[in-house]
Structure 1
């Protein structure tokens, strides 16, 4: 008999690492607990919870809605929820008020994926954080931010649990070749940038770097994989590609449910975000045995050891990014060495099952 009931909450309309992590939490925690899910109606997460009798759809219009909090409170009481696990920072007000409105008064655990940059010492934030029991931080740097910006007297307990990546099935050489042929890679060096298309993720830096690499006549193709969060930004990227005459070298693939296939096909996977809290894509690429280049900021510094398990480029500096790409383009031995060491580190420190066992253990004693 499973003796605890968990409510996974994510009302985000998008689909990225944060939302997919919520979906994975639901599946993994179901091994030990009764798990229910609340997602936003018409969100991209809906496909992941189709025909799930333990899932509820709520229509979210703003960061706070008393009506929505009341609906959530009814779900909490009806399903006898012991712990609410929330993921999207914007859901905090709705979740806290639903706890206040419920009869059960469940504990609240937040997995925080986003950086914290300002003090939470006003009355409103003090009220919110006083009602959260635990914050799971996905990096040590994030834990330091939480400890710095939330006053000690109302600060929830904090725990560091890294995100984990699974070992993907290794594709055979002929399968990779067939896949690359479908993408018209031909004999080009293949770069991949996987993630939501928005300015924060730095797709524009890759295009600028590619313009420099084209001038050097290097045979490189870059594939931008992910859905656009901002159509205006996507259009700017496409215009930039046209401006630099990179239509043959930079290709937009859109969202894929098989990112590991792309990663295994790539010679190098990039992470060009301005200040990524963790960078799940980075460890997924490492676990897939592909060399990685990432910006030297945020949680990435806890993942990549420069020149050992990957390469770091100066944050927001596309010229340095181009130099690091060129370095691995010209040095197969270094690229293979980084890929091997990166895969080894990701397997030891960022294993999917090991990290989720820590989450289960935390929920078991919460």
Structure 2
């Protein structure tokens, strides 16, 4: 595993090869946004980088807006895309790109076919974003994975999954956390008073906050129930900020049910809905406690942002959150959908602000140490040099 500054510094003066990043997606969710940000960071660090994308996809448009070099294709088949492999191999050879990073596992078949055409002159790196799902130890998956020279997992538990669910060489698996530009969260440039004024929130009331797509999997309905419990059973005058929006043309039913729940529990005056904002640091500065209620979050970017913002975190004990948050040290964890346990965690913070502050400060230092975009770039660069 390459993760230390000792390994990074060993390659700091090396010549940078041309680099490609492949992401043939028409969506623009967390994976695509992270891909675009990562490309931008590497370019800022002096890499001659090209993005391989679908024509007119949001990723293509975003890259063009940022001035990132792109090669696009209008079509892509998930399996046996011989034409796509020919296109990709031709452009890699034309642009003299010896290293290609793919960020979606659905492109594994395409890059393995491409490597058959180019041979060992092409080095392939898979940047994992999602859990593996069912075991992939069969012959077909094993042959595809054999084309990879390195597999980057964002967490140790996901790296362990690779070893247990695939036949991929564990010596080629590296733990490289997906980075975040933490500067604006560590130093938001706005006070709590100003943040609440910007978002038109109560000036003095303790505020819980949840940030993310309005979706059943994110658990906003659960947090509303927690708020009701805190106000009725714990007699705490807390309020809630829900920042996010439903997926267009998909999340209307859940959104409507959430609104109805708020009305039925007589919480309309203390639940504050706010749309997504590019300035998430303002949201974190405004709240007192961040609540993560996702059923199974692979890699909670918003959790890391809350940590970097020095806001105490209450989070579901599931998925990658159990590695990102150290229970009782950098946050408090509760069993999934356990309303009383979640409410108790929040109440602890409200009743003991000194402990909440200590936990939040430790969490901020942990976020800066492990999850900065600088560290992701440095570790990835070291791996690139090591496989050439």
What SS is found at the alignment partner of 1:93?
Answer: helix
Distance in 1 of aligned mates of 2:275 and 2:98: 39
Corresponding residue for residue 8 of structure 2: none
Distance in 1 of aligned mates of 2:269 and 2:62: 34
1:305 aligns with 2:326: yes
- Within 5 A, what are the aligned runs for 1:125-204? 125-152=141-168, 157-165=172-180, 166-168=182-184, 170-171=187-188, 175-186=191-202, 187-204=204-221
Distance in 1 of aligned mates of 2:354 and 2:128: 38
- The answer to whether the Cα contact below 8 Å between 2:22 and 2:53 also exists between their aligned partners in 1 is yes
- The answer to whether the Cα contact below 8 Å between 2:150 and 2:174 also exists between their aligned partners in 1 is yes
- The answer to whether the Cα contact below 8 Å between 2:262 and 2:271 also exists between their aligned partners in 1 is no
Distance in 2 of aligned mates of 1:57 and 1:257: 27
Distance in 2 of aligned mates of 1:62 and 1:81: 23
The structure with higher relative contact order (CA 8 Å, sep 6+) is 2
Give, in angstroms, the shift of residue 234 of structure 1: 4.5
Distance in 2 of aligned mates of 1:213 and 1:47: 45
Q: Could you list the runs of 5+ residues in structure 2 that have no partner in the other structure?
A: 1-13
Corresponding residue for residue 4 of structure 1: 17
Distance in 2 of aligned mates of 1:43 and 1:37: 12
Give, in angstroms, the shift of residue 149 of structure 1: 0.8
- Within 5 A, what are the aligned runs for 1:222-233? 222-229=240-247, 231-233=249-251
Give, in angstroms, the shift of residue 16 of structure 1: 4.0
Give, in angstroms, the shift of residue 47 of structure 1: 4.9
**2:70 aligned residue (41, 55, 70):** 55
**1:19 aligned residue (32, 37, 59):** 32
What SS is found at the alignment partner of 1:84?
Answer: strand
- Within 5 A, what are the aligned runs for 1:1-366? 2-30=15-43, 31-51=45-65, 52=67, 54-59=69-74, 63-64=78-79, 65-101=81-117, 106-152=122-168, 157-165=172-180, 166-168=182-184, 170-171=187-188, 175-186=191-202, 187-216=204-233, 218-229=236-247, 231-245=249-263, 246-366=267-387
- The answer to whether the Cα contact below 8 Å between 1:73 and 1:101 also exists between their aligned partners in 2 is yes
Name the CA shift for 1:62/1:209 in 2 (closer, same or farther; >3 Å).
farther
- The answer to whether the Cα contact below 8 Å between 2:209 and 2:290 also exists between their aligned partners in 1 is yes
- The answer to whether the Cα contact below 8 Å between 2:296 and 2:318 also exists between their aligned partners in 1 is yes
Distance in 2 of aligned mates of 1:200 and 1:105: 43
Give, in angstroms, the shift of residue 22 of structure 1: 1.5
Name the CA shift for 1:325/1:61 in 2 (closer, same or farther; >3 Å).
farther
- The answer to whether the Cα contact below 8 Å between 2:215 and 2:254 also exists between their aligned partners in 1 is no
TM-score by length of 1: 0.87
- The answer to whether the Cα contact below 8 Å between 2:155 and 2:323 also exists between their aligned partners in 1 is yes
Give, in angstroms, the shift of residue 42 of structure 1: 4.4
Distance in 2 of aligned mates of 1:207 and 1:44: 33
Say what the alpha-carbon RMSD is for the aligned residues.
2.8
Q: Could you list the runs of 5+ residues in structure 1 that have no partner in the other structure?
A: none
Please, which moves more after superposition, 210-219 or 290-299?
210-219
TM-score by length of 2: 0.83
**What do residues 98-128 of structure 1 show as CA deviations (whole Å, max 9, x unaligned)?**
3335588522101112112322122321221
Please, which moves more after superposition, 321-330 or 220-229?
220-229
Distance in 1 of aligned mates of 2:77 and 2:341: 40
- The answer to whether the Cα contact below 8 Å between 2:24 and 2:107 also exists between their aligned partners in 1 is yes
